[in-house]
Amino acid sequence: MKRCAVGGQAVMEGVMMKNPENGTALAVRQSDGTIVTEYYQNKRKYKKGTFPTWPVVRGVYAFVEALSGGLKITTRSAELLGEEMEEPTKFEKWLSQKLGKSAGDMAMTVAVILAAALAVGLFVILPSLLVSFLGIESTFLVSLLEGVVRLLIFLGYLLAISRIKDIHRVFMYHGAEHKTIACYEAEGDMTPENILKHTRLHPRCGTNYLFLVMMVSILFFACIPVRAFLPRVLTRLLFIPLVAGLAYEVLKAAAASDGWLARAVRAPGLALQHITTAEPTADMVEVALAAFNLAMDPPDRDIKVAAPSERGTCEPPHPSPAAPPSAQGLTPGLAENDPQGHFPGRCGPQGEGVVEPSVEGEHAQDEGAGEASDDQA
């Protein structure tokens, strides 16, 4: 069985695949049925042995990448899909003028801050607040109950959002991403029909990572005897990076082994993937395969196409990533039935098309952090 370093993330009507050695590929199916792809080379690489690649520290880098990079790539998928983005607020425009950044960048920053605040409120403050009402003396028992409450909130949150139609489609693309990687690791034929036969559960999934963060936090904070509510919340917030780094190491160790202990560690996260993934359709697998092929056989430059809301000039078609003979020409949206395996030039409104390759490092991926998990969904 092959070990695949490529990981990914489901986005709006598409899939992102990250190759820690090269860069990030994004594939999105547009409303007309075509698949558009973008590629962003790694702008930074850390040599082994340097601080960002140290055990635990690399997990912190991966955690930050999951928060910031995941939102950016999801926003980009919405742009390629043609979804109208909300107009920046007056506050965001004011920040843009004061800090010298674009209104779009400031809107992204505000969104990240709000998402982080929601996560802290739901998974840190609320569990601590609920447990504090019980008046329990034992700090170990307080930590244990906090963890149980946190897990129940997390489970309820996942079940609730899985009922939302658009989120359910993202979970289907999540399943397509997992199946594609599973098929490659099983050395199967990389065709949509064959990929659909493989499992949608994967031990390196971001769902496993989130679960492990919660489990590690229970054991970690049980060793910190803080009973008062506010100090307890502050210690939780202060040590989130360390807990994330420790959970990352547990995830890597569990994914690399097939022993009984590793299987036991993986089991709860795999069970949760029955919620965070769903059986995909063949056309969704085609999108995941397009992203995977591009990540495995990347171009020598960044590729960015014009979204419907963007303007530019068309350039000649760029070559598609090499695929096994059985996968060539399979997908009309992938290669437009071009026997040479080329993507056609993509044109936006009034003939605008591929923008000159230019990514300002916003999708850059660190080598040490990029291998954190198969996805951040």
Q: What pTM value is reported for the model? A: 0.76
Domain range holding 153?
Answer: 7-370
Q: Is 143 a member of any domain?
A: yes
Q: Is 345 a member of any domain?
A: yes
Q: Is 20 a member of any domain?
A: yes
Q: Is 375 a member of any domain?
A: no
Would you tell me how many other CB atoms lie within 10 Å of the CB of residue 215? 19
pLDDT class for 89, splitting at 50, 70, 90? low
7 has which bridge partners? 18
Instruction: Please check whether residue 33 is in contact with residue 82, taking contact to mean a CB–CB distance below 8 angstroms.
Output: no
221 pLDDT higher than 70: yes
Number of domains in the chain: 1
Average predicted confidence (pLDDT) for the chain: 78
DSSP character string of 223-239:
TS---SHHHHHHHHHHT
As a whole number, mean pLDDT of residues 9-27 equals 93
% of the chain exceeding 90 in pLDDT: 39
Q: Is 186 a member of any domain?
A: yes
The pLDDT of residue 39 = 95
Q: Is 344 a member of any domain?
A: yes
9 has which bridge partners? 16
C-alpha span between 26 and 362 (Å, rounded): 13
Instruction: Please check whether residue 150 is in contact with residue 123, taking contact to mean a CB–CB distance below 8 angstroms.
Output: yes
pLDDT, tens only, 33-77: 999 999 999 877 778 888 888 999 998 888 887 777 888 898 889
Would you tell me how many other CB atoms lie within 10 Å of the CB of residue 184? 18
Return the sign of the alpha-carbon dihedral for residues 267, 147, 174, 376: negative
Task: Print burial letters for 267-295: b (CB count within 10 Å at least 16), e (below 16).
Answer: ebbbebbeebbbebeeebbbbbbbbbbbb
